[in-house]
Structure 1
């Protein structure tokens, strides 16, 4: 793992910076950047233009990326992988596609910890058809309370959606067990997982979990911006109405301009020209993760969290800092310095210690219903971090009483 930093060009130019914001986006590896540039330099054609060699080569890049992604999450068919622009696009595509089966008074179950991308599309959908969005009760460790969920399921429940790992408190839900409980009650209830925070940090197995849909982004897995994924069981995915209509996803438009025939999956849900140069980068990001192993990545990052926790105790940092999730086994730290606005601390850490963390609501607008604060500071560790960086972080947190020094 000591050699990992060499893969990130970020450090070639910013060797003194400590990047603790992998939850927002992971840094990009050189192989991904090179793949994007190579495509733009050496090809640059539209993958829909298969009448010539370069266009066909572009299409083959998409096919390779789709096949690798299928293996990466253990889907049954490559056609069950839909390329989007990101997790937000994926969830909106799903919500729009499910609109025809969500009826008045139907129930959609979510947690208050969800990212806005996994709340707003469902709230909008529910408001448009008269359905109801209801909260799932959580345990003290912020995971889904399964016994409460059992009692909440009823004949009106149409969809249960939740994050595999929360983007704020880092709670890791037992997806397989939760899905088993839901499917045993009613196999037709749709289960969707927002995997944005977990996709590059732990193994995903959609077949073993028996989930119906999953959404995530490439930029959370050392990959490029502008590419996302929607996985769905083939028969359910095939029933979705497209969110975008356009080139590449239609077979025929009738003379009366009323009837049309759409292509089969996956093209049916991928209207328009794809972000092909970024998709070329996806291939390299998956290869990179596979070369290390997700179990190795997860263990390394969890051990960084354990090391941080140990240093917090040794330095009595809880005397002046409120930590919300030290006992949660993930690489995310959520905290506030008592009596100080989070942005003042993030500014202090950046300017005085070159430590990059995020402060605010972290796109989780209902977190106050869980930890009784609207805003907090989030630090998130990745495989590009080490214990020396955590030592510097601890030193900085010991000195937060001097945060005003950087403001004047």
Structure 2
């Protein structure tokens, strides 16, 4: 994987760029960019324009092939895959679809690890339905404590939604074991997985794990922005109500809708699909399939370990997940310096990392700080990136005045 950097055109335009924020958005390889351009330049017709035209055939085939390649990646069924504008959108639609699954006094379980996209939709429907939101306990590894689940899951627990790989600490929840325990306690409880960070780094098997729904994002898997994926187990999807209306639903007048047993994608996808993005997403998963998931994980983990060794030598640094098993993330702070001041200085020197609460509203409960710095690696990073970052962090310690505005 050492020579992968050349596959990312941004480095030809931004020769000095050091990009260490892949957990927010990954950069795009040229095959993804070309696939998006191919749709716009060569096809550019609507998937509703059914005809025997080779243009329509290519567009329709690509949609189906993209569903297939994602289904294969997560070990689901093709008909269980839906395309939505983002993971946030997908989790909102899923929460709204499950609203009537809840009654007053029912319980939804989440964790303090969650991205706001997997918190606020569930909190909103709980408030509306007068349900109770509980937070599952974490162990010393900052993953869900399976040994204590029987104290939190009961017959009133209708939904458990949790992150597979945390975007704030990078810790990996053992999804299979967690789901097995939940289902043993309450077989009727729905288990939902946020797989945005994990689909690159950790093998996923929705069928074996017996989860009920999963969401992932295009722009975190070397794909385009503006597209997310919602996988819903067929048995659950068939029970969900129609929430979205308009073009794309292959049905007659509105009054006939109640009598239609439509495919899941017909419930979730309305209007013109993000077709250029679907072309790009297919290319992104094809790019990923050139490598074993374990190969990507090992490469990024080697970078992470190298970075940790370098960071530990910096005076007054606090690394919050140094001793944790983490995917591709390092979360830290420098004493006496605000995270946003540091990220601003680094940005002026073409080094991009993340600062803030990392879209994790309960970050303070995890690390005791409301704001932190986050390094997250991609397949295009190398040891020179790390050396440059560490050099600038040391410069801050040695000459704090560099943080002052120009």
Segments of structure 1 that go 5 or more residues without pairing to the other structure are none
377, 385, 388: which one aligns with 1:389: 385
Determine the C-alpha separation between the residues in 2 that align with 1:28 and 1:101: 39
Indicate yes or no: 2:1 matched with 1:5.
Answer: no
Match of 1:333 in 2: 330
Match of 2:272 in 1: 273
- Asked if structure 1 preserves the Cα contact closer than 8 Å seen for 2:82 and 2:269, the reply is yes
**Relative to structure 2, which stretch is displaced further, 261-270 or 105-114?**
261-270
Alignment of 1:62-77 (within 5 A): 62-75=63-76, 77=77
Match of 1:405 in 2: 402
Indicate yes or no: 2:110 matched with 1:102.
Answer: no
Determine the C-alpha separation between the residues in 2 that align with 1:192 and 1:404: 47
Residue 260 of structure 1 deviates from its aligned partner by 6.0
User: Cα deviations across residues 111-164 of structure 1 (Å, max 9, x unaligned)?
Assistant: 112111000000101011111111111112211111222211111101111100
Residue 198 of structure 1 deviates from its aligned partner by 1.1
- Asked if structure 2 preserves the Cα contact closer than 8 Å seen for 1:28 and 1:222, the reply is yes
- Asked if structure 2 preserves the Cα contact closer than 8 Å seen for 1:45 and 1:55, the reply is yes
Match of 2:187 in 1: 187
What CA RMSD, in Å, does the superposition of the two structures yield over aligned residues?
Answer: 1.6
Residue 344 of structure 1 deviates from its aligned partner by 0.4
- Asked if structure 2 preserves the Cα contact closer than 8 Å seen for 1:305 and 1:332, the reply is yes
Match of 1:366 in 2: 362
- Look up the SS of the partner of 1:108 in the other structure: strand
Indicate yes or no: 2:83 matched with 1:87.
Answer: no
**Relative to structure 2, which stretch is displaced further, 192-201 or 387-396?**
387-396
Match of 1:135 in 2: 135
- Asked if structure 2 preserves the Cα contact closer than 8 Å seen for 1:252 and 1:262, the reply is no
TM-score normalized with structure 1 length: 0.95
Determine the C-alpha separation between the residues in 2 that align with 1:89 and 1:258: 23
- Look up the SS of the partner of 1:384 in the other structure: coil
- Look up the SS of the partner of 1:247 in the other structure: coil
Determine the C-alpha separation between the residues in 2 that align with 1:116 and 1:246: 29
Determine the C-alpha separation between the residues in 1 that align with 2:36 and 2:6: 19
User: Cα deviations across residues 312-345 of structure 1 (Å, max 9, x unaligned)?
Assistant: 33x2x2x411111112232101111111111100
Determine the C-alpha separation between the residues in 1 that align with 2:46 and 2:119: 34
Segments of structure 2 that go 5 or more residues without pairing to the other structure are none
Determine the C-alpha separation between the residues in 1 that align with 2:6 and 2:242: 41
- Asked if structure 1 preserves the Cα contact closer than 8 Å seen for 2:244 and 2:267, the reply is no
Determine the C-alpha separation between the residues in 2 that align with 1:257 and 1:74: 34
- Asked if structure 2 preserves the Cα contact closer than 8 Å seen for 1:165 and 1:198, the reply is yes
Match of 1:118 in 2: 118
Determine the C-alpha separation between the residues in 1 that align with 2:343 and 2:20: 11
User: Cα deviations across residues 230-262 of structure 1 (Å, max 9, x unaligned)?
Assistant: 1111010121224421111241225x6885636
- Asked if structure 1 preserves the Cα contact closer than 8 Å seen for 2:251 and 2:257, the reply is no
- Look up the SS of the partner of 2:98 in the other structure: helix
- Look up the SS of the partner of 2:230 in the other structure: strand
318, 323, 326: which one aligns with 1:322: 318
Determine the C-alpha separation between the residues in 2 that align with 1:369 and 1:359: 17
User: Cα–Cα, structure 1 residues 15 and 105, in superposed 2: closer, same or farther, change >3 Å?
Assistant: same
